[in-house]
Amino acid sequence: MIKFLDLKKVNQPYEQAFQDKMKTVMDKGWYILGDEIKAFETNFAHYCGTKYCIGVGNGLDALVLILKAYIQLGKLQKGDEVIIPANTYIASILAVLQADLIPVLVEPNLETYNLDPNTVEKAITSKTKAILPVHLYGQLAPMKEINTLAKQNNLLVIEDAAQSHGAVLYSQKSGNWGDAAAFSFYPGKNLGALGDAGAITTNDDALAKMIFAIRNYGSEKKYVHDYIGINSRLDELQAAFLSVKLPNLDKENAVRKKIAERYLSEIKNDKIKLPFFDGTQNHVFHLFVIRTANREELQEYLSANTIQTLIHYPTPPHHQKALSYMGDLSFPITEKIHREVLSLPISPVMTDEEVSYVIEIINKF
């Protein structure tokens, strides 16, 4: 059986180092906002090339905290509009709603599944205050074009980088393109913790200062609360585990890329649309997503041949019950994507034989 993602195998090489870290934390007896979180924040900021990294509880909170901090700083206000790709994971939209802002969904580009600068431009109104590109499946959105639009219209750019740790566009890393970026270290992400974890990267001094406070009860000094904060601190142990894994992230992304390149050159089946890839580091293949008109049939066929696949995502956010107020909206490109996409197994621990087998079976479909 070829698992979609064998997380146990992904984390096995780090087991001893995790146990050593666990002992370090136990010996210190300091569990919240200690040395490990500070060290990871320094390491990850350095990795992304940003001035700051702020460790938080998860990816959703990372987005919420960026938006709430901008509200606190007076750069966003309740009711402002935020432009988001309609085909994102629902977290990006929930974050905007949690911050009392208005998500404005736009159609993505059907080739890259990322934001389309043309649909973004058409959606800009006098109430638009931010663009929230999602680097979906591990590929950076067209950030030069998005940043140009943002500059022309005086908008903030907030990256949802939950799927794109380490992706590079024109020598600039994911997380260092917008005014701020949100990362998730959910176990299945390219850099995954052993539980929930997230972070924000930014070069903005005032924003970083505000987020450091509001992730910790709006407090910069113990028992002094200047802002309405939340409790969303990156866990000390998770931070330690992430510092163990970070030095291998580029190596692991390179393995993903090798697998993707094999899929791209060796899968030959007219019924299957392969993902767009420009050959650079612009894509870290968090997911390898193909499209086919016979998705359910293909998924069953692969399953019968012991290949596990997943769908990212089966239902577009505007058709979810939770967002039923959006029910009248129609996004034909987004809906087509949700009907046709299928994610093939890809991970740093997949063997050459497994990749060959997946290719052979798909080519016989």
Ligand X SMILES: *Cc1c(COP(=O)(O)O)cnc(C)c1O
Report the C-alpha gap between 81 and 94 in whole angstroms: 14
- 246 and 257 in contact (C-beta within 8 Å)? no
State the Cα–Cα distance between residues 89 and 318, nearest whole angstrom.
11
- Residue 134 beta carbon to ligand X: minimum distance, rounded to whole angstroms: 5
How far apart CA 112 and CA 79 sit, in angstroms, is: 30
At closest approach, how far in Å is the CB of 162 from ligand X? 3
Q: Which of 92, 112, 114, 243 binds ligand X (CB under 6 A)?
A: 92
Contact call for residue 241 and ligand X (CB under 6 A): no
By the rule CB under 6 A, 89 interacts with ligand X: yes
Residue 189 known to be catalytic: yes
* Contact call for residue 186 and ligand X (CB under 6 A): yes
Nearer to ligand X among residue 163 and residue 347 (C-beta): 163
Q: Beta-carbon neighbour count of residue 25 at 10 Å?
A: 17
* Minimum CB distance to ligand X smaller for 91 or for 115: 91
**Residue 232 near ligand X by CB under 6 A:** no
First-to-last C-alpha distance (Å) of the chain: 18
Contact 216, 33 (CB under 8 A): yes
Applying CB under 6 A, among 184, 190, 238, 253 the residue interacting with ligand X is 184
Please tell me the count of residues contacting ligand X according to CB under 6 A.
Answer: 15
User: What whole-number distance in Å separates Cα of residue 208 and Cα of residue 53?
Assistant: 8
Smallest separation (angstroms) from ligand X to the CB of 41:
17
- CA 34/CA 146 separation, integer angstroms: 37
Q: Which of 21, 173, 189, 257 is catalytic?
A: 189
The one among 11, 50, 112, 163 contacting ligand X by CB under 6 A? 163
Say whether residue 91 binds ligand X (CB under 6 A).
Answer: yes
Q: Between residues 198 and 348, which has the closer beta carbon with respect to ligand X?
A: 198
Residue in 60, 71, 106, 272 binding ligand X, rule: CB under 6 A: 60
CA–CA distances in Å: residue 162 to residues 55, 239, 300: 13, 16, 29
Q: What is the nearest approach in angstroms of ligand X to the Cβ of residue 270?
A: 30
Helical H segments across the chain, by residue range: 7-11, 15-28, 35-48, 59-72, 90-98, 117-123, 143-153, 205-214, 236-245, 249-266, 295-304, 332-340, 352-363
Footprint on this chain of ligand X (rule: CB under 6 A): 58-60, 88-89, 91-92, 134, 160, 162-163, 184, 186, 196, 198
Residues acting as catalytic residues: 189
